[in-house]
């Protein structure tokens, strides 16, 4: 009998597959059904664990096909849904078609995948020109980007709801996507929408980039207190976003990691204007995040009392705060709480915090990221863990001017890119 690939043990076939590229693996699968079966297991199957799907009829139809019975697409574990800015496929009618197709694909995964669930789900937005090439984001595209982000989020959440496909490990909503965030009020319906379902009941990590709505919808049903405030305060919108996230603890009871990024789109915001009295009626609410271990807050506008209340509500063991904008009060009570012996915090990372318009500099060895005139300041970054974490946190701010430097200009541009137009431009200049 002549040697045959079909006679090889599946373990040996699996080893061969690890030594050849994907195109050759595909060709090898075409030799016979027996070889196809052996090749399609182990290493080759890993190529189907991840998939990025554009929110358009063609790619969605392909996803429905590859997740049908007997296809390797059922092995999908890590799914990315990408909305495309500039696509001709937009509007309510196409949203309905996108929802129909994505629901079918998710239903296929629930019924036919080995685990009946996704490990992770990521949402992304891509900007395309008419010739289908990517182009950089710009001010003229901002409204389209935010609209596409909202559309992609709404269609994906509706498909999850209709299919009841669980997501177990990580839900990533536009994290790391420059100049793109989800309007915070889109989160509000989720708690009620998924209250009787187990879609997120085992979710371990939530990462989300939020912003104020790009423009207020007609007939807005925001809280009566907020309707009187209008769009003048990032602090109010940030508090509403955090309140909605805390409310989501009821549908994500096993969440271990919460990472919140805020992108500023209100360029006319009056940073130091006194808050309307109605702001005081807003309450963050309680948290049921009993399993939460890590919490990261980036770019959030918030009051001292609200930040302290939030940290107490989520009670993480690891806390990261980057570019927090404390619009009222000081960090004294927050740092004092973090270092109390009976608080659960065992690690924290603090970077470029602001008290009002001024950067916080810590009284520890090290240098500031850029020099000031006539004063020497410590670093604006502080990381502590283990035995150091309960040491008192001492800090200073200065009203002195920065010395002009390329480092500071690059820092300023990087902050604007990551967190949007901000009052960094109002910091003291040379």
Beta strands in 220-338 (DSSP E): 257-263, 294-298, 301-303, 318-322, 325-328
Q: Where are the domains of the chain?
A: 1-48, 49-160+171-180, 190-430
Per-chain mean pLDDT for the chain: 82
Tokens of 152: 């992609």
Tokens of 97: 């078609």
**Residue 53: Cβ-neighbour burial (10 angstroms; 0-12, 13-18, 19+):** middle
Q: Dump the DSSP string for 239-260.
A: HHHHHHHHHGGGT-TT--EEEE
Determine the average pLDDT of the residues in 345-372: 93
Residue 359: φ, ψ to 5°: -70, 145
Of 46-50, 85-89, 97-101, 173-177, which range is least confident? 85-89
Q: What is the pTM of this model?
A: 0.84
Residue 121: φ, ψ to 5°: -135, 125
Q: In the chain, count H helices and then E strands.
A: 12, 17
Judged against a pLDDT cut of 50, whether residue 332 lies above it is answered with yes
Residue pLDDT, tens place only, 274-305: 555 555 555 666 677 889 999 999 999 999 99
| pLDDT value of position 266 | 72
Taking the alpha carbons of 398, 400, 401, 403 in that order, is the dihedral positive or negative? negative
Judged against a pLDDT cut of 80, whether residue 91 lies above it is answered with no
Residue 165: φ, ψ to 5°: -80, 115
């Amino acid at each position: 009998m002549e040697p045959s690939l079909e006679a090889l043990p599946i373990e040996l076939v699996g080893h061969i597959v690890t030594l050849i590229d994907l195109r050759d693996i595909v060709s090898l699968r075409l030799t016979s059904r027996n070889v196809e079966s052996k090749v399609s297991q182990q290493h080759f199957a890993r190529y189907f664990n991840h998939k990025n799907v554009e929110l358009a009829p063609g790619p969605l139809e392909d996803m429905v096909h590859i997740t049908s019975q007997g296809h390797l697409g059922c092995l999908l574990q890590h799914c990315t849904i990408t909305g495309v800015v500039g696509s001709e496929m937009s509007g309510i009618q196409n949203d309905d078609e996108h929802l129909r197709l994505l629901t079918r694909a998710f239903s296929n995964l629930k019924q036919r995948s080995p685990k009946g669930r996704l490990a992770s789900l990521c949402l992304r937005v891509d900007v395309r020109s008419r010739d289908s090439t990517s182009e950089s984001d710009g001010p003229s595209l901002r409204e389209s980007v935010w609209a596409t982000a909202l559309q992609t989020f709404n269609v994906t959440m509706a498909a999850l709801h209709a299919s009841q496909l669980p997501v177990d490990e990580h839900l990533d909503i536009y994290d790391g996507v420059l100049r793109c965030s989800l309007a915070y009020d889109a989160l509000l319906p989720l708690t009620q929408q998924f209250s009787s379902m187990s879609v997120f009941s085992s979710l371990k990590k939530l990462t989300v980039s939020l912003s104020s709505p790009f423009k207020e919808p007609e007939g807005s049903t925001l809280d009566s207190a907020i309707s009187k405030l209008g769009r003048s305060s990032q602090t109010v919108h940030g508090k509403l976003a955090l309140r909605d996230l805390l409310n989501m603890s009821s549908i994500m009871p096993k969440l271990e990691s919460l990472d919140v990024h805020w992108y500023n789109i209100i360029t006319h915001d009056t940073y130091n204007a006194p808050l309307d009295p109605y702001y005081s009626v807003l309450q963050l609410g309680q948290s049921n995040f009993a399993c939460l271990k890590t919490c990261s807050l980036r770019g959030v506008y918030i009051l001292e009392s609200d930040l302290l209340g939030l940290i107490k509500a989520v009670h993480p063991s690891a806390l990261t705060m980057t570019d927090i904008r404390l619009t009222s009060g000081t960090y004294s009570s927050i740092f004092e709480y973090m270092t109390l012996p009976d608080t659960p915090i065992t690690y924290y990372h603090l970077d470029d915090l602001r008290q009002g318009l001024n950067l916080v500099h810590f009284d520890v060895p090290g240098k500031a990221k850029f020099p000031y005139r006539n004063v020497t300041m410590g670093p604006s970054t502080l990381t502590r863990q283990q035995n150091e974490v309960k040491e008192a946190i001492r800090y200073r701010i200065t009203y002195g001017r920065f010395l002009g430097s390329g480092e500071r200009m690059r820092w300023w541009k990087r902050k604007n890119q990551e967190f949007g137009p901000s009052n960094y431009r109002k910091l003291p200049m040379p």
